[in-house]
Structure 1
């Protein structure tokens, strides 16, 4: 049973089958919280399913390294990515880096996500939230909430922050879907590695042109800050510059889309909690945290041991990798009371959906602000809401959530 349960982490379809996924993770937390997984087409790894163990690993970023295996990909894709980086190409985002380089690169964009900067952005985000709730009224009484609303609201926010022209937003969305949806037949560009890598090439070509433009004529946006960022007095490499854009432009909206759409689904499935939030709008902050815990859009990161060590008594050798199962940690019975209950007033809420430690999500505060704005606008105007079809989840082993959320509603 341990092998069957652990193999869900090497099966992209498991994240589209929540009962199966959570049954497996619940079993592993109780019986084998450091489970060895050896299933093709992936290289072996240890699945870490307990909240405390994941936090311990995230704290010790000298022992547990992001390089060379920051996320779970097939062995063939892993080899190809490494060869690309060795040749001076490929993707190397913040999630691929370790300190001290990681800290220096992260600092280039960090000021854009600090409280002072976000306070200046609040009015624009609130206006956008109203715009998209108004759009629900226009296209109602039914819509696919993912396709019609949840994608576009955070996409508009992050790409406006970067300073990209609005006519390029659909292209950025498509490329993001292809990159994070490589394991899903609806989203993937193609079945071969070469077809999938073409998505990254399209990203890089777009952002190479953007970099040249912002270096020649800085415009005071986040894209200009990245293009003109310097490390130890030297400009960012072409790979690091393009990679910075990719992670901000893609993860900066796709994960928020997953939390927004999954959060609305949870409210529909738990009408008592929706009514509670209507009666107590001051709970919006804890409600957003619960939506983020409930959905956990980033399913995992991986770390590689820099020396021989142990986790919960299990020996792990230098060079072996662990899979940090955030979805499991966010249902850990030792941390959360009634973890499978959706509670808009849950406090404290020590979820790990944004990671922990030096790699804590750069855009966490922005994502929270967007969600608070949208649900603060939506819920008071909502007279009724129900499913108009079956919610559909994406197949993934990394980032994902709902692909479709058909709803029927009445809005003021």
Structure 2
């Protein structure tokens, strides 16, 4: 059977950071793909061909089948051909993974490492830290109100509140948070000239890999010191769990240790920041929606779930077929590379009524922004709790809110969201 090939403009858009920053045109192309070629091959000059998976059902089917679709065989984030070759030459076992975290692991390692901290992120245990989270939310609200009527909500509030929460739980002191925020933005925003380490557009693969390695080295140096501290003096935090954990009868190897810290420290706040800003943008656009949810008794769950779907901070992950598999009417061959495009899956017309409408009243919001199956986001319950508590504390303190300028999204194929959200507000 001949593999279906995507039109060039669709294939080009899904690998273009600027397309994710622009957003509207990308959705038009993904909608075309869902309707006409929901599982088809994207061919681009600088990338190896890969299957673009656009439908919710197909993303779910692949996500629930880690035995046949691996994370660790090839990069789990889209990488161009030169970048993958450079990374393979420079990494242990030539596996091409600059970072080895839960995201890059397959069985049996994945579950061994996931179980080390999984209990920390379950709803029952999160109730223990709810008062601490509310304290941070109230501080964020006071910070917002100090701007006297106008601020950049994405930069001034959304970027810092989830950061403070996860750093508190992880065990990083407040004075080190600016460093963690900077490094996270440089890691996830490496293709955005406003956020990356060089502050310029990066087109050369060798330069891109070198820049990422500098960021990773900064993280590793910081967490090496934190590990020594927690081994010498354990505390009640996740850093202590990671630093003193045992896997296969010994301490976690240095590479996996650094990767564990990094996935908790970065994914633990950047994605929640994006969804929080996304919720505020829609409230600022719609006075009636804002008025409804600012009421103290209003249940915020629908607003939060829809903001997560609407924003879809983690925009894709890659998988590699370990054997021939039939999916969505197509034959995926052993060794094929696939992009699970969550942006597309979260706008799938077969799952979401009027998917391009922000609707907090969806009766069953099946958003897949946290992934699904064995690799579902470890911190999904924490993210929802953080957003709920902030909305409970913030919205009743505002009388009105509106956009004060044009929002702007991060130019990134991997992790996206708003990097600017100018708002004008009146305190209640």
- What range describes the TM-score normalised by the shorter chain of this pair? over 0.9
**Aligned 8 A contact 2:325 2:332 in 1:** yes
Which residue in the other structure is 1:382 paired with? Answer: 398
Question: Is 1:100 aligned to 2:108, yes or no?
Answer: yes
Residue in structure 2 matching 1:80, options 56, 77, 86: 86
> Given the superposition, is the C-alpha separation of residues 280 and 152 from structure 1 closer, same or farther in structure 2, using an over 3 Å criterion?
closer
Q: 1:311 pairs with 327, 330, 334, which one?
A: 327
Q: Retained in 2: the 8 A contact 1:141–1:408?
A: yes
Deviation at 1:308, TM superposition (A): 1.5
Aligned mate of 1:66, from 63, 71, 86: 71
Structure 2 match to 1:277 = 293
Question: Per-residue deviation at 1:315?
Answer: 2.1
Aligned to 2:12: 7
Q: Deviations over 1:175-213 (max 9, x none)?
A: 000000011000111332312321111111111121122
Structure 2: gaps spanning 5 or more residues: 1-5
Q: Distance in 1 between matches of 2:158 and 2:167?
A: 15
For 1:290 and 1:325, locate their aligned partners in 2 and report how far apart those are by CA, in whole Å. Answer: 18
Q: CA deviation at 1:90?
A: 3.7
Among 341, 347, 350, which residue is 1:325 paired with? 341
Give secondary structure in 1 for the equivalent of 2:44: coil
Q: State which drifts further: 323-332 or 65-74.
A: 65-74
Q: Is it true that 1:203 corresponds to 2:231 in the alignment? A: no
TM norm structure 1: 0.97
Q: Which string of whole-angstrom CA distances, capped at 9 and with x for unpartnered residues, describes residues 341-367 of structure 1? A: 111222200010000000000000000
Pick which of 35-44 and 127-136 moved more.
Answer: 35-44
Equivalent residues in 2 for 1:241-256, closer than 5 Å: 241-256=257-272
Q: Which residue of 1 aligns with 2:308?
A: 292
Matched, 1:345 2:361: yes
Give distance in 2, aligned partners of 1:174 and 1:118: 27
Q: Offset of 1:109 from its aligned partner? A: 1.0
Q: Is the 8 A contact 1:183 1:396 kept in 2?
A: yes
Following superposition, the deviation at residue 26 of structure 1 comes to: 0.6
How many residue pairs get aligned? The number is 412
Asked if 1:222 corresponds to 2:238, the answer is yes
d(CA) in 2 for partners of 1:40 and 1:264?
39
- The normalised TM-score by structure 2 is 0.93
Unaligned runs of 5+ in 1: none
Q: For the Cα contact (< 8 Å) 2:316–2:342, is it kept in 1?
A: yes
Question: Contact 1:283–1:345 (CA<8 Å) still a contact in 2?
Answer: no
How big is the shift at 1:81? 3.0
Gap change, CA 1:279 and 1:159, over 3 Å in 2: closer
Does the aligned pair in 1 maintain the 2:405–2:422 contact within 8 Å?
Answer: yes
1:160 maps to what in 2? 168
Alpha-carbon distance in 1 for matches of 2:131, 2:175: 23
Which deviates the most, 319-328 or 89-98?
Answer: 89-98
Shift of 1:275: 2.7
Equivalent residues of 2:98, 2:213 under 8 A apart = no
Give me the CA root mean square deviation.
1.6
Q: In structure 1, what is the Cα distance between the partners aligned to 2:10 and 2:363?
A: 30
Q: In 1, distance between residues paired with 2:233 and 2:385?
A: 31
* CA offsets 1:287-331 (integer angstroms, 9 cap, x no match): 100110000000001110001223222222111111001011111
The structure-2 alpha-carbon separation of the partners of 1:392 and 1:100, relative to structure 1 and needing over 3 Å to count, comes to same
1:81·1:91 contact (CA, 8 Å) conserved in 2? no
Contact 2:112 2:247 in 1 (8 A): yes
2:128 maps to which of 120, 123, 131: 120
- Specify the alignment match of 1:363 in structure 2: 379
Change in 2 beyond 3 A, CA 1:125/1:202: same
- State whether structure 2 residue 413 is matched by structure 1 residue 393: no
Contact 1:309–1:317 under 8 Å retained in 2 = yes
Single out whichever of 334-343 and 172-181 deviates more from structure 2.
334-343
Q: Report the counterpart of residue 3 of structure 2 in structure 1.
A: none
Kept in 2, the 8 Å contact 1:300–1:325? The answer is yes
The reply to whether residue 260 of structure 1 matches residue 287 of structure 2 is no
Which position in structure 2 is the counterpart of 1:27? 32
Measure, in 1, the Cα distance between the counterparts of 2:297 and 2:354. Answer: 23
Return the alpha-carbon distance in structure 1 between the equivalents of residues 233 and 94 of structure 2.
30
